[in-house]
Amino acid sequence: MLEIVNLHAEVNGKEILRGINLSVKAGEVHAIMGPNGSGKSTLSAVLAGHPAFTVTQGSVTFNGKDLLAMPAEERSRAGLFLSFQYPVEIPGVSMVNFMRAAVNEHRKYKNLEPLTAGEFLKLMRAKKDIVELDNKLANRSVNEGFSGGEKKRNEIFQMAMLEPSLSILDETDSGLDIDALRIVANGVNQLKTPQNASIVITHYQRLLDYIVPDIVHILYKGRIVKTAGRELVAVLEEQGYDWIKQEVGE
């Protein structure tokens, strides 16, 4: 589904990603872990098409297409979803209008008719239950005045609405209390199918107690330095990242 080969990227002339190789297949859950500053969020931003980052080398193939050639909006329509670490507040744009615009763009991409207002609201009602999102949030401005937990639940709600084939969850656990964490993780698990895949980016183990990865990668200084099964999570939790630093020769 996703094939990243030797990906290099920089921001403001500073190289952050220095040759990422990663292969994700349908049905898999990958975890990318690593200390602060290792390039985890850069990787997710580059995959989503954030204009601040420049890819200097390498390729990314997504469902057979050249992902890097697509603008951000097309990547989304093609089935890539980024759950933001810091969801953006958009005062004055209601969740309903925002989601309707997004859903109908996705439908247009698939040559489907736009949803009627009634159909859309029905869909929204069904999907918000997945993350126990309050009815009232739908009429509020996007993320405006949402608590940290509400913002992250809102990300997963959007994921449920857009039904991506690949979702990247960037530090979705940051700023969540234990109840919100469970709701968010529960939502993600409900959305899992054999046809889709997830990349969970985190530097804590706790989210991975709920969303169990098949493969765990350690990102350090812009490279994936270690890949193993889910047992790697426990090792990291116990020993921290220092042994990785030693292993790569520092």
Partner 1 sequence: MVQDSYIALFTENEALFQQNLPAWRCQMRHQAVTCLQEPTQLTFADAYALDYGLNPARLPFKGDPFSLFMCDIPGITTYNYLVFNDSFYAQPGLPTLPEGVIICSLAEAFQQHASLLQPYLSSCQVANPDVAFNTLLAQDGLFLYVPDGVQLERPIQLVNMMYGKVDMMAVSHNIAIIGQNAKAQVLVCDHAYGSDVNYLSNRLTQVFVGKNAIYEHYKLESSSEKTTNVSTLQITQQEGSQVLTNLITLANGKTHNRVDVNLNGKGAHLSINGLGLGHNTERIENHTFINHNVAGATSNELFKYVLDDQAEGDFYGLIKVLPDAQQTQAFQINRNLCLSKTARMFTRPQLEIYADDVKCNHGSTVGQLDENALFYMRARGINPDEARMLLMFAFVHDVLDNVRIEPLKDRLQLLIERRLRGDKTHCSGCKICR
Q: 59 exposed, middle or buried (CB, 10 Å; 0-12, 13-18, 19+)?
A: middle
Q: Which stretch binds partner 1 (CB under 8 A): 8-16, 75-83, 130-138, 236-244?
A: 75-83
Determine which residue in the list 50, 192, 221, 230 makes contact with partner 1, applying CB under 8 A: 50
Is residue 109 at the binding interface for partner 1, with CB under 8 A as the rule? yes
Cα–Cα distance, 35 to 66 (Å, whole number): 29
Is residue 112 at the binding interface for partner 1, with CB under 8 A as the rule? no
The 3-state DSSP class for residue 247 equals helix
Nearer to partner 1, 143 or 208 (CB): 143
Determine which residue in the list 53, 62, 84, 220 makes contact with partner 1, applying CB under 8 A: 84
The 3-state DSSP class for residue 40 equals helix
Nearer to partner 1, 19 or 87 (CB): 87
Q: How far is the CB of 84 from partner 1 (least distance, A)?
A: 7
Q: Which stretch binds partner 1 (CB under 8 A): 2-10, 44-52, 56-64, 222-230?
A: 44-52
Nearer to partner 1, 102 or 121 (CB): 102
Determine which residue in the list 21, 98, 163, 204 makes contact with partner 1, applying CB under 8 A: 98
The position carrying tokens 């890097």 is 68
Strands 197-201 and 29-33: parallel
Nearer to partner 1, 5 or 93 (CB): 93
Is residue 145 at the binding interface for partner 1, with CB under 8 A as the rule? no
| Strand blocks (E) in the chain | 2-11, 14-24, 29-33, 53-62, 65-66, 80-83, 90-94, 141-142, 166-170, 197-201, 215-220, 223-228
Q: Which residues pair with 169 in a beta bridge?
A: 83, 200
Is residue 210 at the binding interface for partner 1, with CB under 8 A as the rule? no
With CA atoms as reference, report the closest residue to 88 among 32, 45, 134: 45
Determine which residue in the list 76, 154, 198, 202 makes contact with partner 1, applying CB under 8 A: 76
Cα–Cα distance, 222 to 211 (Å, whole number): 24
Q: Please give the residue ranges that form the binding site for partner 1 (CB under 8 A).
A: 48-51, 71-73, 75-77, 82, 84, 87-93, 97-99, 101-102, 105-106, 109, 141-142, 158, 162
